[in-house]
Every structure is written in structure tokens, then in C-alpha cells.
Amino acid sequence: MKPDRRVSNCSLLTLRGMLRAMVAFLLVIFFVFAGEANCSTEHRYLHHRSERSLCAELIQPYGYPCSEHTVQTEDGYLLALQRVSSSKGGVIKLKPGPPILLQHGLFQGGDTWFVNSMEQSLGFILADHGFDVWVGNVRGTHWSHGHISLSEKDKEFWDWSWQELALYDLAAMINYVHAMANSKIFFVGHSQGTIMGLAAFTQPEIVDMVEAAALLCPISYLSHVSAQFVRKMVNMHLDQMLLAMGIHQLELRSDTGVRIMDFVCDGHIDCNNLLSSLTGKNCCFNDSRIDYYLEYEPHPSSSKNFNHLFQMIRKGTFAKYDYGWWGNMKKYGNLQPPSFDIGCIPESLPLWMGYGGNDALADVTDVEHTLKELQCKPELLYLDSYGHIDFVLSVTANEDIYKNMIGFFRSWGKPNSS
């Protein structure tokens, strides 16, 4: 080996190491400040927020009847659900159509289904098709930030991951909608919403209330995530860093978080590139609408949730939260956390899945892994050019996906079901 080559290799390594350290440092700064809030502003924000209503802000202004509902989870969280119908053509239907629950993904909220135009947003489209639309909002989002005894300032408030979102939040929401509609319900999940769905459907008492489910960007395994930015965060163990630093809430919208985000977006990287490195290349994303999206998103989540998702990427499992050997023994009576066995989801549950060739989070290899373990053969819609966000925000989603999906629901819906 030539010495000069060794030298250049060596300096390259150092450079790479330095770059990695710099990125790590910037990310830590970003998240530290994102978790910290200016007291007076935070106070004003909370006050303002507690009066906010998804119905009033995004749904009723377009002429859609909408009501707010509150559901309490087994562990005391108070979740907001919105019920939306359509009065298109001036006809108020006496009997609501089949109930359908929409479950958003990570850092998103129920607004996700309504932030594009009425012709593009799934929430409006389903209502126009006569469905009785119910909009789910998980704990910690701007629409669901209540708890019977805890405040968002308590670290215990943020002590959960998607496991609780599946077994408590989704269970409570499905139960409520099932009781209100007095019928089995349809389910639509996107991304983390599909993780919640697949985990919850392994539980007989939950899946019994579901008529059929559509999964957009279905995720149970995450070992083939290809998003560069996510891989970087996983490799530097950002999730564990956050927890070690005592940061329990991931709030990207706090004043400083927004300032840094603005800085990043106005500087060398534009927002769309940032989004691509996090989610994959989105074919049909409306760039000129970003400011509007940012009025509602991203929503907060917990560091523990981040940690649980990263565990899935590192270990390639679809299992409960890993507390380490000692913690697992105490929690589960086993050294390893128990798996969610999607092979237990009854074959009789009709499933539909939409997935994309440019999705860097719900990678095709992982989707195939999920398909192999399911008993039933879901109806599949594969879109080569679609990225992760396209499935909820594409300007052509109605033509590309929703028509197909609604056809699936129609084939399983009982007309005039009670």
C-alpha cells in the first residue's frame, strides 16, 4: 500500500468523523432547544391552543357539519375525535353512512386529512361519498393534549410509545366510534397509524369491532428504512441521547425549534429536500402549500416513541418497547419484549394496502415481510413514483389512490348497515 494513499484515507476518515460530530452536535442543539420553551410564549400558546378546535378551524368553514368528541383512554389521556359528514347538494341524510376512523401518522394530527383542497383531502372526499367520518388524534398532538391528572409539563405525560397509542388510544377510539355508530367500523391508517392498526388488530377484542381496514404506507417492520437522515439519527443514537438528556417531549414547533427550522429551510437545504431526506422523494407534493401545512404540523410526540421506533429499525422486530434485560424481566417476565404477532390477525379481516416505490420509511422489502406474515392476502395498490407523504398530501391522491380504496370499502360495506 502506498503511504500517500494511507494518508489521504486517514484524513478522509477524520473529516468524516468531524462532519458526523458536527451533524450530531447540530441535531442535539436543535432538539434541546426544540424541547425548551420561552415561558411566557408557551403560556400564551397553551391558552390559545386549549380553545382550538379542528372542526371550527378546518372543517366547518368549508360547509361540512362537524362535532367534537372526547374519549378517555385506560391510562387517563383525553383524546379529541371529530365526526364529519357532508351536506353536499343540500341534502341532510337522516341515517349516517358506514363509520370510518382515520388515524394519522407520526408528528401529524387529524388535520392531515383536511389540509389540501376539498377535492384532494381524504376526510372531505369520504364525507362526500356518504361515509360517517371519524377523525382520530393521538395523545400529545395539539388536538389531544389533555389528561385526567397529568399536565404536558410532567415528564410522566410523555412516558409512552406507539405501543400505548395502539393498545390504549386506538382501542379507546375504536370502542367509542363502534358504540356511537352501533356498527362495526372501517379503518384507514397512515404510517404510524398503520403500526397502531396492525398492533391493535392482534388483539381479538379490538379487531372484532373492525369491518375492514386500509393501510397507507403499511409498517410493521422497519429494518429497511432507507431515509438518509433517519439512518443518520439512528446511527448516532439520537433517541437514546435525548432520553439521557432528560428530554421527554419532542416539540419541533416551540419558538426556538421553529426559528432553527426556518434557518435550515432558508439556508442551504430547502424544505422539500429536508422532507425528502426524511421520507423519500414525494412525487406530488404541493410546495407552494408548505406554509399552510406548517400552521398545523408538525405535532409533538414523545422521545420514548422515537426510541421505540429506532429500536424497530436497529433490531428488525415488531415488538413491545425494549426496557433492557432487567427492565424487561420486571415488565414482561422475560429477557426480550414480547412480539406483536401479525400472523394472529384474523384471516377474516379484509385488508387493503397502498405503498410506494419512493417511500423511504415504509420500504417495499419491509412491506413484503409484513405481507408474508399476514394470514390474509390484502388487496394491494403499488405506486412506483409515490413517496411517504404523497399518500396523504398528493394533489392527485384522489385519482391515484382514494378511488381504489373507496372501491375496496364499498365491496365490504353492507348497504344500509345498521
Ligand X SMILES: *[C@@H]1O[C@H](CO)[C@@H](O)[C@H](O)[C@H]1NC(C)=O
The residues that touch ligand X, with contacts defined as CB under 6 A, are 38, 40-41, 117, 286, 288-289, 292, 395
Asked if residue 202 lies in contact with residue 319, where contact means CB atoms within 8 angstroms, the answer is: no
Smallest separation, CB 42 to ligand X (Å): 9
Nearest distance in Å: CB 45, ligand X? 10
Q: What residues form DSSP beta bridges with 102?
A: 135, 188
Label the pairing between strands 351-356 and 210-216: parallel
For the stretch 261-267, contacts whose Cβ atoms lie closer than 8 Å and that sit 24 or more positions apart, written own/partner, are none
| Cα–Cα distance for residue pair 71/387, rounded to 1 Å | 33
For ligand X, the closer CB: 37 or 133: 37
Query: Is-catalytic flag, 191?
Result: yes
Which candidate in 169, 239, 322, 359 is catalytic?
A: 359
Pick 38 or 365: Cβ nearer ligand X: 38
Pairing state between β 249-250 and 301-302: antiparallel
Q: Tally Cβ neighbours within 10 Å of residue 286.
A: 16
| Catalytic residue check, 149 | no
- With respect to ligand X, which residue has the nearer C-beta, 23 or 118? 118
* Beta carbon of residue 292, minimum distance to ligand X (angstroms, whole number): 6
- Contact, 160 vs 305, CB < 8 A? yes
Q: How far is the CB of 255 from ligand X (least distance, A)?
A: 7
Dihedral, CA atoms, 19, 24, 25, 30, nearest 10 degrees?
Answer: 130
Helix (H, G, I), strand (E, B) or coil at 26: helix
CB 224 within 8 A of CB 198: no
Nearest to ligand X of 6, 259 (CB atom): 259
Least separation in angstroms between residue 37's CB and ligand X is 9
Q: Amino acid identity of 155?
A: K
Active-site pick, 85, 121, 144, 191? 191
The residue among 38 and 334 lying less far from ligand X, judged by its C-beta, is 38
Task: Identify the active-site residue in 388, 390, 394, 400.
Answer: 388
SS3 (DSSP) at 318: coil
Contact 314, 307 (CB under 8 A): no
Least distance in angstroms from the C-beta of 389 to ligand X = 14
257 φ/ψ angles, rounded to the nearest 5 degrees: -60, -45
Nearest to ligand X of 120, 161 (CB atom) = 120
- Residue 113: all three cell numbers together: 386529512
In the complex, minimum distance from the CB of residue 284 to ligand X, in angstroms, rounded to a whole number: 8
Q: Evaluate whether 114 touches 59 at the Cβ level (below 8 Å).
A: yes
390 in catalytic set: no
C-beta separation of 203 from 167 below 8 A: yes
Helices (H), 201-270: 204-207, 228-235, 238-244, 255-266
Q: Which is nearer to ligand X, 69 or 289 (CB)?
A: 289
Instruction: Indicate the DSSP class of residue 270.
Output: -
Strand partners, 135: 82, 102
Return the active site residues. Answer: 191, 359, 388
